[in-house]
Amino acid sequence: MIILKKTIILILLLLFLPFSVFALDIESSNMILYNLNEDKMIDSKNEEERISIASMTKIMTTLVAIDHIKDLDDTITLTSKVFLGLREANASVAGFRLGQKVTYRDLLYGVLLPSGADAANALAIFLAGGEKEFVVWMNEKAKALGLENTHFENTTGLDKEGHYSTVKDVATMLKEALKNDIFKQIFESKSYQVSDKSMTLYSTLSTSLTRYRLKADYILGGKTGYTYDAGRCLASIAYDNQHDIYYLLVTARAPLTTAYYHLTDAIKIYDYYFENYGYQKLVASGDTFVTLKTKFSKEKDYNISASEDFVWYLNNDYNKDDVTYQYHGIETITPFMKEGKTLGTVDIYYQNEKIGTVDITLDHSIPFSFLSFLLEYIWIVVLFLAFCFLFIIKVIFFRKKKVSR
């Protein structure tokens, strides 16, 4: 009996846990997924846990650099200070050379595509005077964006005490960065030839997908990263062309034991939502929300109907019976109301959760019916006729009485 009770309790717990935990068996310990069409978080896992974020840091590095660059095509010459300590730290580099003349545009691409620490260092040195000064700008930007669980200690994302963020904060900084056309263009690029034509930079995301023969053409761009503490990470955006939905996904702390876990996790998550979610038509144009009574009209009822389709992002297996309406407004329609008059609002609910509100106006005038008016006030008519009858009787009686005299 005790075992049976424990089994029932376990089943109930499983039923009330988030469905996606069981639908998506991913390796990453932290993730967050947004529907970018409406900037809505639709799935998450340990999204507010402070963690190392590896080279996803360079999203902020690039964004801050863009804020401070006056001319993208200004040329600078790379000094030895740019490369100091990079080999010892085993940092990934874009491949720029000592003494090479590059533009700020070259460096921005060098930071985001091949995840170059050399490019990040160069931007910090030539824009702020050094990494320490540049990091101050990064932390100021984080504060301005309301990233309360983020603090930077370097521009590259190398593991360091006090350098942390969350996948939720990374998603916020990426959404902000994507508002910038320069950043967006770089982020979505697969390759770039530097201004002196000496080298071509390739996106670590696209080269990794090719190397491991993973098909994910719908991923528009991304920033990979890995360190011992952060594991394998990926911040990416994708487009579901079947449903016309843009997604943003950040995953972190996938095991280092396999080189492509961050990629397969992203593919698994995107594929699942592409296949199972979309904008469902909860209300079709012409659907009746509520029926109101009328006065003084041949039309006994006035149907308040949807003037257009109402769609909502839901699982494809949603139950339309779970859609309900609640009307707030005028209860009776009269012919004295003009077409276009605001009647009230209709709240739309799905599974008892309010998901939208629709304003309701009178879409056509109600014709006046004298007969309906009479029937509505029949007692007044009867009293009036009775009064008239009595008055006539009284007049006749008065005249007869006068004649008899």
Q: What pLDDT digit, counting tens, does each position of 242-283 carry? A: 999 999 999 999 999 999 999 999 999 999 999 999 999 988
Report how far apart, in Å, the C-alpha atoms of 194 and of each of 63, 121, 186, 255, 400 are. Answer: 20, 17, 13, 34, 120
Greater model confidence, 6 or 214: 214
CA-CA distance, 139 to 393, in Å (whole number)? Answer: 98
Give the tokens for residue 42: 């639709």
Q: Please compute, for residue 342, the number of CA atoms within 13 A of its CA located in the half-sphere on the CB side.
A: 6
- Which of 389, 336, 342 has the alpha carbon at shortest distance from 366? 336
Contact criterion met (CB below 8 Å) for 348 and 282: yes
| pLDDT score recorded for residue 366 | 67
Nearby residues of 157 by Cβ (< 8 Å), 6 or more positions away:
52, 53, 54, 55, 56, 57, 58, 163, 225, 227, 230
pLDDT tens-digit map of 63-98: 999 999 999 999 999 999 999 999 999 999 999 999
Q: What is the mean pLDDT of residues 345-362?
A: 89
CA-CA distance, 382 to 401, in Å (whole number)? Answer: 28
Q: Give the three-class secondary structure for 150.
A: coil
Can you list the positions of beta strands (E) in 316-352? 323-329, 332-333, 342-350
Average pLDDT, the chain: 88
SS3 content of the chain, % helix, strand, coil (to 5): 40, 25, 35
| pLDDT score recorded for residue 362 | 81
Query: Which CB contacts under 8 angstroms, 24+ apart, belong to 286-293?
Result: 289/325, 289/327, 289/346, 289/358, 289/360, 290/325, 290/327, 290/346, 292/330, 292/331, 292/332, 292/333, 292/343, 293/331, 293/332, 293/333
CA-CA distance, 102 to 296, in Å (whole number)? Answer: 81
